[in-house]
Amino acid sequence: MYVLIHGAYHGAWCWGAVQRLLPNAAAPNLPGHGGDPGWLSNQTLDAYTARIVDAIDATKGPVTLVGHSMGGAIAAQAADARPDQVAGIVFLTAYIPIDGEKISDVVKTDPASHVRVERLASGEDEALSLMAGTLEDAFYNDADARQLGFAQDRVQLQSPNPFRAPLSLSDKGFGSVGKAAIICLKDRAISPGHQRWMAERAGCDPIIDLDAGHSPFVTATDALVVAIQSAAKNF
């Protein structure tokens, strides 16, 4: 069983093509994303983690978590809460903080990233919005017009709050589960070198290279599914 965890600005919609090819794969919306009834105030690290823990609890037997981008940190925190129920984590071009580190800490240490955001006020909530051109330059630089249009119609505002909360990861929890990483070699949102540094620091094995940009669930679905299955064989 797989639980697929989307990243910032996205929702479960991004995993649709993968789910059609990957047996027994669940893809929940994180709170405030996609079809979830919540909004920016619901987008917190604790709420994200609770949603994935609920998805783990709903499965039978060990689950493999696949965390994309920001979702990598959510996968790590959820695995720390349920290490006996998680066979392993596949980090897909993901942020992988260590204990006490914030997602923002590993965002800031990647000067090669092309992501550009602007801060907005949405009622009483603060929001991040991708600046014009960032989606196609950083997130979907290898997409065709149809694929890019699919994403443009669905991306949304993102609360900065999950990026500001430190992770709490233990050796008995997160440290005890299997870890693998898929490095996207054409990624401009998280540079390949930064992906690899985080994966190696976390002890990921194997580390698999994929010739794709930041969003292979849309642009390289077949190859991504093969890579996920190959990585999960090691758990």
Residue 60's pLDDT is: 79
Q: Which domain holds residue 208?
A: 2-232
Residue 10's pLDDT is: 98
pLDDT, tens only, 29-74: 999 999 998 899 999 999 999 999 999 999 977 999 999 999 999 9
Instruction: Please report which residue ranges of 153-220 form alpha helices under DSSP H.
Output: 161-164, 192-201, 216-219
CA distance 137 to 22: 28
Is the whole model's pTM more than 0.75, yes or no?
yes
Using 50, 70 and 90 to split pLDDT, how confident is the model at 124? Answer: confident
Residue 38's pLDDT is: 87
> For 180-184, what is the mean pLDDT?
98
Give the CATH number of the domain where residue 20 resides: 3.40.50.1820
For the chain, what percentages of helix, strand and coil (3-state, to nearest 5) are there?
A: 40, 20, 40
pLDDT, tens only, 76-93: 999 999 999 999 999 999
Which one, of 132, 93, 129, lies nearest residue 110 by Cα?
Answer: 93
Domain tally for the chain? 1
